Amino acid sequence: MPVQEIAVIVSSYQRPEHLQRCLWSLGEQQGVAGRMEVVVADDGSTDETLEVVDRCAKSAPFPLSFTTHDHEGFQLARSRNEGVLASSAPYLLFVDCDCLLPPDHVAWHLRSAKLGTVIVGDCLRLDRETSEQIDKDFILAQRYKGLASWKERSRILLKACKDWGYSFLSLSNHPRLTGNNIGIARSDFERVNGFDERFVGWGLEDSDLQRRLALAGLRFRTILHRTVTYHLWHEPVDSFSRNNLNTQNLEYFQQELSSPVCRQGLSSHIPRTVEFEQRQLLKDAA
């Protein structure tokens, strides 16, 4: 499946400084000139998020748009679906605004793209002190690459080895899908109607997507031996619950799955999209 164009869907909510760093790292991507579009898929931020995207759109080397909705709880699944609907490329890469992408990250996903296969990755988690050091110069010089702890590097190395084995064996539901680093063909994503928007609150929307993709016959391959993102520290979201204990999401996830197609997904709505170039033209005309 030779893929020429990719849409990077960046989920965000109330983290404008992290989003700015993520967009800077996207601006440094190599080998994808003219082949990458970016959509910031927002969950109803009321801070400076829109202004950050607006500023970046003026100089970004890629088309940049923004989707949002009224914030009614943690709706990551809805945000990602809206981002997909606002994009046009035949291949999708899901990342989060609190992650930095090394310069070859998007290119590796394009090289790894394969119809019927989901490309699965993960992130190296940076601590609070380290995250606060990172500015634009850090990102342009790629200095963040050496800042993860040895413990964290060891975790990712072990996971990469295990996931390589899972990929080789073509096991169902392995390696585990992690929402901040997913590559998938748009047609495969559409086959299952995208993320299930009935997951509201932190957790399990990624696990649900994986089990439905597996039921639809897709396989999963790791990209950790090629690239990894770098996760900036932040406080847990209010709805966070370790292992999703005592949550409605867990109760819903444990229900028997009868179809790979969720009822409340991509087909549920049309997103509110801001096209920054068009918006600027309208401002100038006024």
Instruction: Kindly list the structural domains of the chain, giving each domain's residue range(s) and its CATH number in brackets, ordered by start.
Output: 6-285 (3.90.550.10)
258 confidence band (pLDDT: 50, 70, 90): confident
Separation of alpha carbons 52 and 204, rounded Å: 29
pTM: 0.91
Judged by average pLDDT, the poorest of 21-35, 96-110, 146-160 is: 146-160
- Residue 237 clears pLDDT 60, i.e. is over it: yes
Q: Which pLDDT value is given to residue 1?
A: 57
Q: Which pLDDT value is given to residue 89?
A: 97
pLDDT in tens, 70-81: 999 889 999 999
Question: Which are the contacts of 72, defined by CB distance < 8 A and separation ≥ 6?
Answer: 44, 200
> Residue 19 in contact with residue 40, Cβ under 8 Å?
yes
pLDDT (average), residues 135-151: 92
Strands 272-275 and 99-100: unpaired
